Every structure is written in C-alpha cells, then in structure tokens.
Amino acid sequence: MSSNEVERIYSEIISIKDVISKGGAPSDIVAYEAIAAKGLILSTASYFEKAVRELLIKHAESMFNSAALISFLDNQALYRKYHTLFDWERTNINKFIRLFGNYFFDFMEPRLTDEKIKNAIREFMFLGRTRNELVHNNFSEYPIEITSEDIKGKFDIALPLIAFLSQSLSEFEQANPKTPDSND
C-alpha cells in the first residue's frame, strides 16, 4: 500500500461520510465514523509496516551484494516480526534505533531532538499502538475516540519519518563504513 492508497481510502471515507450526512440520521454518521476511523487506523499502520520493511531491505541491498542474505533478513528478521521492532507503549523509537547498535544510536540521538522528527515519531507510534489495541482488544467492540480527519492528520505528520530513517541509515554508513559495534 502506498501513501497514495491511504490518501484514496481517506478520500473515499470523506465522500461516503458526506453522502450519509445528507440523508442519514446523526447516529448513522457516528456509527460510520467509528468504523471508518478503525479502517483508516489499520490502513495507516499497514502502510508504515510495509514502508519500514522495504526501507530496511533496500538499505541491506545497498550494503550487501547477497540475495541469500537479503532473503534471510526478510524471512527471518522482518516477515511477521515488525511488531517486535518497536516498544509500542512508548512515544519514541529508541528500541528500533538501538537494534542497529550503540554507534548508530549515538549517531541518531541528536537527530531525534528535531521538533518535526519528534512529532513524526509521536504520531507514528500512536498509529502503531492504536492499531495493536484495535486488533488485540476485539476490533468490533473497541471504542475509537479519534476521527478519520485526526487520523489522516497524524498520518501526514508521521509520513516524513520513513524518509528520515532511510536518509539517516545512508548517512551513518557513509560516515562509519564497516564500524564494528562491540557493545551489543
């Protein structure tokens, strides 16, 4: 799913909501919004899962000329393990950053203080955490307290995080070629 697909889904949600608003009862709008918001949460979280996985694979491909190693990384470290890369109860991505070693964490720490990046991280973590709450706490009964518009806003704020991570990994590798991290 591309960010364009999230945009398309959001546009469809708004279009349907407008139709319901014109002919439906207020309770119809409330019921639809709750279902739409849940669907949009899943869509945004799914987008980020795929984007993070793809950025890690692309980075590994740029560093290693080994189809076998890339397949191993994807199959053993990433496939169906995305949820383990982050501490979803937090509002930071420190666990994820630390998986790359202490040198990378030290490299990233000052970059994570930028206000735009802090906001992107906060919203990224919110969307992932809310997705987990939805799917692990009975999707149909889970009370959603955020609108589709708010979710889309959070998605837009979080979106630059992927490019930031990709760029940071590349810059780190250029500045620190083949640096062993013996502190892991």
Give pLDDT, residue 80.
81
Domain annotation covers residue 126: yes
Is residue 184's pLDDT more than 50? no
Rounded to whole angstroms, what are the CA distances from 20 to 13, 32, 80, 145?
11, 8, 37, 20
Give pLDDT, residue 72.
83
Domain annotation covers residue 184: no
Give pLDDT, residue 5.
92
Are the C-beta atoms of residues 8 and 50 closer than 8 Å to each other? no
Domain annotation covers residue 63: yes
Give the range of the structural domain holding residue 59, as residue numbers without chain letter. Answer: 3-175
Residue found by looking up tokens 């945004």 in the block: 44
CB atoms within 10 A of CB 83: 12
Give pLDDT, residue 2.
65
Domain annotation covers residue 182: no
Are the C-beta atoms of residues 172 and 128 closer than 8 Å to each other? no
Give pLDDT, residue 181.
52
Is residue 180's pLDDT more than 70? no
Instruction: Identify the band that residue 182 occupies on the pLDDT scale cut at 50, 70 and 90.
Output: very low
What is the pTM for the complete model shown?
A: 0.89
CB atoms within 10 A of CB 124: 26
Question: What whole-number distance in Å separates Cα of residue 85 and Cα of residue 93?
Answer: 9
Is residue 178's pLDDT more than 80? no
Question: Model confidence over 77-120: pLDDT tens digits?
Answer: 777 888 999 999 999 999 999 999 999 999 999 999 999 999 99
Both tokens of 94, joined, read 């420190």
Domain annotation covers residue 130: yes
Domain annotation covers residue 82: yes
Query: What type of residue is 59?
Result: H
Domain annotation covers residue 105: yes
Domain annotation covers residue 69: yes
Give pLDDT, residue 114.
96
Rounded to whole angstroms, what are the CA distances from 82 to 6, 8, 46, 68?
19, 25, 10, 20
**Number of folded domains in the chain?**
1
